[in-house]
Amino acid sequence: MADVVVFCESDDKGIRSSSLPALTAGAALAKQLGGGVCAVVIGSGTGAAAADAAKYAARVLTYDDARLAAPLAETWAPQLADAVKRVGAGALLGTATSTGKDVLPRAAALLGAGMASDITAVVAANRFRRPAYAGNAIEEVEISGPVLVASVRQTAFPPATPGAAGAIEAVAVAAVDALGAELVGLHETKSTRPDLGEAKVVVSGGRGMRAGENFKILEELTDLLGGALGASRAACDAGMVPNDLQVGQTGKVVAPQLYIAVAISGAIQHLAGMKGSKVIVAINKDPEAPIFQVADYGLVDTWEKAVPALIAGIKKLKASG
Ligand SMILES: Cc1cc2nc3c(=O)[nH]c(=O)nc-3n(C[C@H](O)[C@H](O)[C@H](O)COP(=O)(O)OP(=O)(O)OC[C@H]3O[C@@H](n4cnc5c(N)ncnc54)[C@H](O)[C@@H]3O)c2cc1C
């Protein structure tokens, strides 16, 4: 019997919604291990986040310290390792966000634990499913040893639902050593659109959009559908849109209800980030573009013709109620 520690990322309002799938995976693993879920919140001023985490886990450990204000793997990973030891847990889970990908492997190293990255299913107490080769193969990995660490693919597990009334324990933080690392700046993109990883609709543009200003028309389509804007790596690398919009193997993994790929060829690295979408629509002028192989609906046309027509159609539909 062993508990599962779940690393919950947070802001000043509560835990981030990206952590909710990790809590779901944590509960599934805790069932296998015959234990419970202990959520861990780290930062400075974590009161609201700890109270929020208590809605999802029987136990919450909070590491609240001014020296932990910056999300540095160097300072946060030792707190996670401490939590695992304190709880006597058999596993540490978190979501495979950029912070999770940074902090969890370091925590695994500190614990001397094996790690599975980007898991999509809990098969047994120490067995997980995860995609390999840009999603072209699914492998099952087994981790031996008394403690295991895994990062969870956000789109593979449903968000946990509130209902618990967990006990919150404030842990006195011991020495904090950033090992020379320092957070120089944090440039957050402020957007009124939903988060790319959570949006029900994603409209992505590729290199065929040719210039950043041409993404305005995709923004209009995105906003009409209440979705999030995405892009291929080629479009990001060309500076048409910011890098945080990148969908794919080295970008964000999305699985919306509707994914509209505009002027994107459909390289495997792009598909790795979106082929779990429920309905895929592709607009491309090249009928041989590989994106059509995964698309549910394909339109062979230029975006210059197709997107304005789509926008006009949606506006007409909306106007008719
Ligand atoms: C290790 C590694 C990791 C990678 N990670 C990622 C990743 O995370 N995400 C990612 O996206 N890529 C990734 N890539 C890059 C990937 O291999 C492709 O190069 C990239 O996805 C291509 O982007 P694209 O489809 O926008 O561009 P292109 O392949 O150049 O395709 C442009 C498409 O636009 C169409 N087009 C052109 N003009 C028009 C028009 N007027 N109207 C309609 N269609 C038009 C063309 O027919 C073409 O199909 C990675 C590559 C490597 C090696």
Q: Cα(275)–Cα(36) distance, rounded to whole angstroms?
A: 33
Phi/psi of residue 51, nearest 5 degrees: -65, -40
Quote the CA–CA distance of 97 and 100 in Å, as a whole number. Answer: 5
**Residue 289 placed within a domain:** yes
Q: Whose CA is nearest to atom 2 of ligand 1?
A: 269
* Claim to verify: residue 272 and residue 128 sit in the same structural domain: no
Nearest CA among 294, 295, 273 for reference residue 96? 273
Q: Are residues 28 and 128 in the same domain?
A: yes
Contacts of 54 (CB under 8 A, 6+ apart): 39, 60, 164, 165, 166, 167, 168
Same domain for 73 and 221: no
* Angle in degrees, 0-180, between the axes of helices 303-319 and 215-224, rounded to the nearest 10: 20
Q: In the chain, how many domains are there?
A: 2
Residue 234 lies in a domain: yes
Higher pLDDT, 195 or 219: 219
Give the confidence band of 302 by pLDDT, cuts at 50, 70, 90.
very high
Judgement on whether residues 211 and 310 belong to the same structural domain of the protein: yes
Instruction: Tell me, yes or no, whether 196 lies in a domain.
Output: no
CB-ligand 1 contact for 206 (6 Å cutoff): yes
pLDDT digits (tens, 9 = 90+) for 40-79: 999 999 999 999 999 999 999 999 999 999 999 999 999 9
Pocket test for ligand 1, best of 264, 291, 294 (most atoms within 8 A of CB): 264
Residue 189 has pLDDT above 80, yes or no: no
CATH number of 246's domain: 3.40.50.1220
Residue closest via CA to ligand 1's atom 36 equals 208
> How far does residue 278's CA lie from ligand 1's centre (Å)?
21
**CA of 273, closest atom in ligand 1:** 8
Q: Where are the beta strands (DSSP E) in 55-205?
A: 59-64, 91-95, 114-119, 121-124, 127-132, 137-142, 148-152, 167-170, 201-205
Q: Which of 204, 217, 232 to mutate for ligand 1's pocket (most ligand atoms within 8 Å of CB)?
A: 232
**242 and 293 inside one domain:** yes
* Tens digit of each residue's pLDDT (9 = 90 or more) over 277-294: 999 999 999 999 999 999
Q: How far apart are CA 236 and CA 280, in angstroms?
A: 21
pLDDT at position 197, please? 84
| Binding site membership of 274 for ligand 1 (Cβ less than 6 Å) | no
Which pLDDT belongs to residue 186? 85
* Cβ density class 134-173: b for 16+ within 10 Å, e for less: bbeeeeebebeeebbbbbbbbbbbebbeeebebebeebeb
Find out whether the beta carbon of 59 lies less than 6 Å from any atom of ligand 1: no
Evaluate whether 131 touches 120 at the Cβ level (below 8 Å).
Answer: yes
Query: 31: domain CATH number?
Result: 3.40.50.620
- One-letter amino acid for residue 207 of the chain: R
Domain range enclosing 264: 201-319
Residue 132 CB neighbours (<10 A): 11
H or E, element range at 50: helix 47-53
pTM for the model stands at: 0.88
Nearest-angstrom CA–CA distance, 222 and 202: 7
Q: Do 239 and 139 share a structural domain?
A: no
Nearest CA to ligand 1 atom 51: 269
Take residue 248 and report the two structure tokens written for it. 């794919």
Ligand 1 binding pocket includes 55 (Cβ within 6 Å): no
293 & 253 share domain: yes
Q: Does 207 sit in the ligand 1 pocket, CB within 6 Å?
A: yes
On whether both 29 and 143 belong to a single domain, the answer is yes
Residue 269 CB–ligand 1 contact under 6 Å: yes
Closest CA to 160 of 24, 19, 14, 15: 24
List CB contacts of 162: < 8 A, sequence separation 6 or more: 55, 56
Chain segment 139-157, per-residue pLDDT in tens:
999 999 999 999 999 999 9
Mean pLDDT of 254-280: 96
Compute CA distances 312 → 32, 77, 229, 297, 316, whole Å.
52, 51, 19, 19, 6
